[in-house]
Amino acid sequence: MTAYILRRLLQMVPVVLGITLIVFLLVRASGDPVAIMLPDDASQEQIDLLRRSLGLDRPVMEQYFVYLGNLLQGDFGMSLRFRNQSAFEITIERLPATLQLAGAALLVAVLISLPAGIVAATNRNRWPDRVASTLSVIGEAMPNFWLGIMLILIFGVQLGWFPVSGRGTPAHVIMPAFALGTALAALLTRLMRSSLLEVLNQDYVRTATAKGLRRRTVLTKHALRNGLLSYVTVLGLQVASLMAGAVVTEQVFAWPGIGLLAIQAINSRDMAIIQTVVIVASVVVMLANLLVDLLYSLIDPRIQYA
Amino acid sequence: MTRFKMPLLTLAATLLLALSMAFGQRLVVSQGIDVPGFDPHGHSNAAMEAVLVNLFDYLVWKSVDGEFEPGLATSWEPIADDAWRFTLREGVVFHDGTPFTGEDVKFTLERLAGDDGLAEFVNYRQIREVEVVSDHEIVIHTDGPDPLLVNRISRVGSGIVSKDYVERVGWEAFATAPIGTGPFQFVNWIRDQEIEMAAFDDHWRGRPAFDTLLHRTIPEDSTRVAELMTGGVDIITNIPEQDQDRIGTSNAARVELAPSNFVMMVVFNVREGTETADPLIREAIDLAIDRDLLVDGLMGGLGVPTAARLNPGISAAPIDRYFGVNNYDPERARELIAEAGYAPGELTINMYGASGRFALGAELTEIVGVMLEEVGFSTNVDIREFSAYSSTVWNAGAFEHMVVTGLGNSFGDNWFAMRALLCGGQYDDRVGWCNERFDELMNAAETEVDPTARAEMLHEATDIVAEERPWITLFQRQDLVGVSSDVEWTPRADGMLWMFEATPAN
C-alpha cells in the first residue's frame, strides 16, 4: 500500500512539470501584464521601465527556465499585483477558504443525492422517481453563477435569511455551498439511481430477498455498498469540477478562496499567482483522485493495491 | 403585564444603544477590486488610491469640486522658475504618534522621483530635490519650470509616509502594516476580502465621524448591489445602469451620479498611406457619431458629450467651447465621404475596441461602427479582450484606421490630457500625428508658470487637436455610486472614496 502511494506521488512530478510549462506559456501568450498595470496613456518609457523591472524583457524560454529553477528550490515567484509578496504564500493562505467551500458543496451534494438517488431507485417509475429525475435535470441545467445570483436575491435580499456575500460565520457558507453543490447533487442523484437499479437486478440481491431478509437489510448491506462504487468514483473525479466551479461561485459570493484569487490574477495578468493557483489546484485534484482510489479498497475488499 | 412593557422596552433600547456605542459606528465601503498592498507609491490605479487616501495625506488636497486646498502643506508659492516653497502644517502626527516633518516629505517625494521601478516614477521624476529648510518648511526644486507641480503632488502616489517608520521596518513590512497621517489608521487586511481601519483620534482635521471603516472587496456588481440593499455595505461604486431604479426606489439606499475625468474617445492612425490620413475622412467619422444617442441609448444617460478631452474641473481647458458639444451632422459626413472620392460603402474602416476595460467598451465600439455604416462607410469591427487588445493592437501600433478607447486624467490638467500627442511622444509612433505649432504651444505651456498665459496656449493647442482630429472624443463618462440611507456622503469627481467626509444620517 505504502509503495503504491509513493509510486502515485512520484507520478505526479512529471504531470506537475508539464502543467508548469503549459500554464507558463499560455499566460504569456494571453496578454501583457504591464499594459494592465499602467494607465492607457502611459509612455513607452514607463512601459519599458516596468517591463524591465519585472524581468519581462527577457526571452520567454529563458524566463521559463529561471522560473523552473526557482520552483525546484520552492520559490514560486513574487506576485505582480501584490508586489513583493510570495505567490505561494498568497495562494496557500487562500486554500482553506476554497477547501471549506468545496467540502461544504460536497456535503450538500452527498446529503441531497444519496437519499434522493435511493428513493428514486427503490420507487422506479413512480412519482418519487419522476420528481427526483426532473429536479436532477433542472439542477444540472442551471449555471451555478445564475443559481448563485438567484439565491442571493431570494434568501439574501428578499427573505434576509443568510448574509449576501463574504466569509466569516458558518451562515456565510450555506448559499455558496448550495450554488456550487447543486449541479453535482443532480449528477450524483442520477448516478446513484442508475447504479443502484443495476445492483438491485443482480442475482445476489434476488437471493438475499428470496432468503427472507428485510428490505432495509438487503438495501443497505447488499445493494448500497456495491452501488456506491461508481458513485465514489464519480465523486472523486468531480473534485476537479468543484475546483473549477469554485472560480465562478467565489466570484459571485465574494468568497476569498483561490478561485477568486485566480480571477483577479487573470484580470491583472499576475503570472506568478496564476501559475501557482493552477499548480496548487492540480495537486489538490490529483491528491483527491488518489484518495478515491484508496477508498475503493475500503468499499470493495476485492481491490488490493500493492 | 402592560405595566412592565414600557420599562422593558426602555431597557432594551438602552441596551441596544449601549451595545452600538460599545462597538462604535461602522462604515462599510465596497469596490470590485482590492489594493495590492499599502505602499502608496507602488501602484498607478485610481480605484486603489481611492482606498489609500483614507490612510495617507497629500501636501495639497483637492476639494470635492477639484479645487486645491491645504493638506499637509498650509501654503505654497513659486519662489523661482524651478523652485516652490511649501509651509508644512504643525502639530501633525503619524498613526504611531511620531511628528510629521519636512524630512518625511523629502523621503517620500525623493523616493518617487528616484526609483524607476515605481509605476508612477515617470510622473514624479521632474522633482530634482526636496530641500528641508526647517521642520515645517521645504523647497521643492524641479528640473526646469514645472507649472504642474501642485497637480503632480496631489494625486496617485502623493501620500506622505513616515521616514522613521519605513527605515525601521522596510518597505516590505510597510506594504502590509502601513503608517500615515490620514483620518483612519490601519487595523487589519484580509486580501481580496476586507481592509479594516479605525478612526485616528489625533488626526489634524479632527476625528472622523465613523469609528471603523471597512473596505470590502466584492467583485460581482449584482452582489455589491444586493449587499447595499440589505444593509451589508453602506457605499458601493460602479453600479450597473440597470440597477439604478431598483436601488432608487428602495428605502435602503440612494444612487448618486459621480462625474469623472474619464473621456471615451476614438484615436486615428494618420500615417501616410492610410485612408484615415485624409482629414476629410476623419471629419466624416467625427460627424457620423451621435454622442447624445450613445449617452442616452447605450450608457443609460451616464455621460456628457464632449468635443475635446476635457470636462469641468480640468485646469487650463476651454470647457465652454467643447464640453457638452455633440459634433453630429450625418448629411455633412456623407458629403465629406463623397468629397474624399469614395462612393457609399466603398471605403472600409477597420476599427478596434477592447472588452473588459471600460464599461460597455465592446458595445460602444460596435455602435460607433453602426453609426459609420449609416453615413456610407463599411466597417470591420475587431473587439479583443483588453490585454490582448493592448499588446497586439494598441501598444503594437497595429491598427489600420482607428481604435475606440477611453482615458482618465489623474492630473486634472489639460496639458496632461494632450501630452501624448507631442511629436515623438507616446502616440507619435502609433498614430503618426505631429504638428509643429501644437508642439510649440505644448512645450511652452509645460514650463509656463503664469496660469493665464498657460491657459491661452493650451486653449489654442486644444483647438488644433479639434481641427486636425488625430483623435476625436465621444463623451465624459459618469459613474453611479450607491449610498445607504443611513449615511451622508457625496461622491467626488476624482473618484476618491475619502470617508473623512462621511457622516451618519440624522
Q: Is the pLDDT of residue B2 over 60?
A: no
Both A161 and A66 in one domain: the answer is: no
Average pLDDT over residues B413-437: 86
pLDDT at A41: 62
The answer to whether the CB of B458 falls within 8 A of the CB of B415 is yes
Contacts of A83 in chain B (CB under 8 A): 36-37, 39, 42, 175
Contacts of A252 in chain B (CB under 8 A): 220, 223
Cα–Cα dist B348/B341, whole Å: 13
Q: Is the pLDDT of residue B502 over 90?
A: yes
The answer to whether the CB of B482 falls within 8 A of the CB of B254 is yes
Q: Does the residue B208 lie in any domain?
A: yes
Which residue's entry shows cell 444620517? B505
Closest of B84, B63, B59, B85 to residue B72, by C-alpha: B59
Q: Is the pLDDT of residue B6 over 70?
A: no
In CATH, what number is assigned to the domain containing residue B189? 3.40.190.10
Both A188 and A49 in one domain: the answer is: no
Mutation site, B218, B223, B410, interface A, largest A CB count within 10 A: B223
Of B42, B190, B395, the CB nearest to A47: B395
Closest of B119, B112, B124 to residue B43, by C-alpha: B119
Q: What is the per-residue pLDDT across B378-411, written as a single tens digit (0 to 9) for each? A: 999 999 877 678 777 887 778 899 999 988 888 8
Both A219 and A272 in one domain: the answer is: yes
Maximum CA extent, chain A: 86
Grid coordinates of A133: 429525475
Q: Which domain holds residue B397?
A: 259-479
Both A208 and A237 in one domain: the answer is: yes
Q: Does the residue B392 lie in any domain?
A: yes
Average pLDDT over residues B28-37: 87
Q: Is the pLDDT of residue A286 over 60?
A: yes
Q: Does the residue B38 lie in any domain?
A: yes
Interchain CB contacts (distance < 8 Å): A and B = 143
Of all residues in chain B, what percent carry a pLDDT higher than 70? Answer: 94
Residue in A with minimal Cα distance to B419: A41
Across the interface, do B117 and A254 touch by the CB < 8 Å criterion?
no
Measured in Å, how far apart are chain A's first and last C-alpha atoms?
5
Which residue's entry shows cell 500615417? B271
Residue B139 bridge partners (DSSP): B85, B131
A residues 43-82 closer than 8 Å to B (CB): 43-47, 49-50, 53, 79, 81-82
Q: Is B172 an 8 Å CB contact of chain A?
A: yes
Q: Does the residue B230 lie in any domain?
A: no
The answer to whether the CB of A151 falls within 8 A of the CB of A75 is no
Count of domains for chain A: 2
Cβ contacts of B160 within 8 Å, gap of 6 or more: B56, B57, B58, B59, B72, B100, B104, B105, B108, B180, B181
Helix ranges restricted to H, A54-86: 60-72
What are the CA-CA distances from residue A71 to residues A19, A276, A279, B22 (Å)? 13, 10, 11, 49
Number of other CB atoms surrounding residue A45 within 10 Å: 12
Cα–Cα dist A108/A114, whole Å: 10
Torsion angle defined by CA atoms of residues B248, B251, B257 and B258, in that order, rounded to the nearest 10 degrees: -140
Grid coordinates of A243: 475546483
Q: Is A29 an 8 Å CB contact of chain B?
A: no
Q: Does the residue A304 lie in any domain?
A: no
Both A124 and A247 in one domain: the answer is: yes
Both B267 and B192 in one domain: the answer is: no
Helix (H, G, I), strand (E, B) or coil at B382: strand
Contacts of A153 in chain B (CB under 8 A): 226
Q: Does the residue B250 lie in any domain?
A: no
In CATH, what number is assigned to the domain containing residue B321? 3.10.105.10
Count of domains for chain B: 2
In CATH, what number is assigned to the domain containing residue A120? 1.10.3720.10
Grid coordinates of B124: 514624479
Contacts of B229 in chain A (CB under 8 A): 157
Cα–Cα dist B404/B354, whole Å: 8
Helix ranges restricted to H, B243-358: 244-249, 279-288, 291-293, 319-322, 330-339
Across all residues in chain A, what is the average pLDDT? Answer: 85
CB neighbour burial string for A179-205, b if at least 16 within 10 angstroms, e if fewer: bbbbbbbbbbbbbbbebbbebbeeeeb
CA B19 to chain centroid: 39
Both B157 and B42 in one domain: the answer is: yes
Grid coordinates of A15: 504531470
pTM: 0.80
Q: Which domain holds residue A69?
A: 2-87
Contacts of A26 in chain B (CB under 8 A): none
Grid coordinates of B201: 483620534
A residues 244-303 closer than 8 Å to B (CB): 251-254, 256, 260-261, 263-264, 267, 269
Across the interface, do A35 and B395 touch by the CB < 8 Å criterion?
yes
Cα–Cα dist B243/B224, whole Å: 11
**Rg (chain B; Cα; Å):** 25
Helix ranges restricted to H, A155-270: 170-200, 203-210, 215-217, 225-253, 258-267
CA B340 to chain centroid: 39
The answer to whether the CB of A191 falls within 8 A of the CB of A133 is no
Mutation site, B193, B196, B236, B431, interface A, largest A CB count within 10 A: B193
Number of other CB atoms surrounding residue B122 within 10 Å: 18
Both B283 and B136 in one domain: the answer is: no
Both B376 and B493 in one domain: the answer is: no
pLDDT at B326: 95
pLDDT at B220: 85
pLDDT at A160: 87
Counting beta carbons within 10 angstroms of the beta carbon of residue A74, is it exposed (0 to 12), middle (13 to 18) or buried (19 or more)?
exposed
Which residue's entry shows cell 495562494? A91
> What region does B315 belong to: left with phi over 0, alpha with psi -120 to 50, or beta?
beta
Q: What is the per-residue pLDDT across A10-37, written as a single tens digit (0 to 9) for each? A: 888 899 889 989 988 888 877 677 776 6
> Dihedrals φ, ψ of B236, to 5°?
-130, 150
Of A43, A94, A152, the CB nearest to B426: A43
Across the interface, do B387 and A42 touch by the CB < 8 Å criterion?
no
Strand blocks (E) in B89-218: 127-134, 137-142, 184-190, 194-199, 212-217
A278 or A40, which is more confident: A278
Q: What is the per-residue pLDDT across B242-275, written as a single tens digit (0 to 9) for each? A: 888 888 888 889 998 888 888 999 999 999 889 9
Q: A271-299 and A2-29 helices cross at what angle (nearest 10)? A: 150
Closest approach of chain A CAs to the CA of B464, in angstroms? Answer: 20
Contacts of A166 in chain B (CB under 8 A): 193-194, 216, 218, 232
Both B458 and B490 in one domain: the answer is: no
Which residue's entry shows cell 466624416? B284
Q: What is the per-residue pLDDT across B324-383, written as a single tens digit (0 to 9) for each? A: 999 999 999 999 999 999 999 999 999 999 886 777 888 999 999 999 999 999 999 999
What are the CA-CA distances from residue A204 to residues A216, A219, A221, B292 (Å)? 15, 12, 11, 77
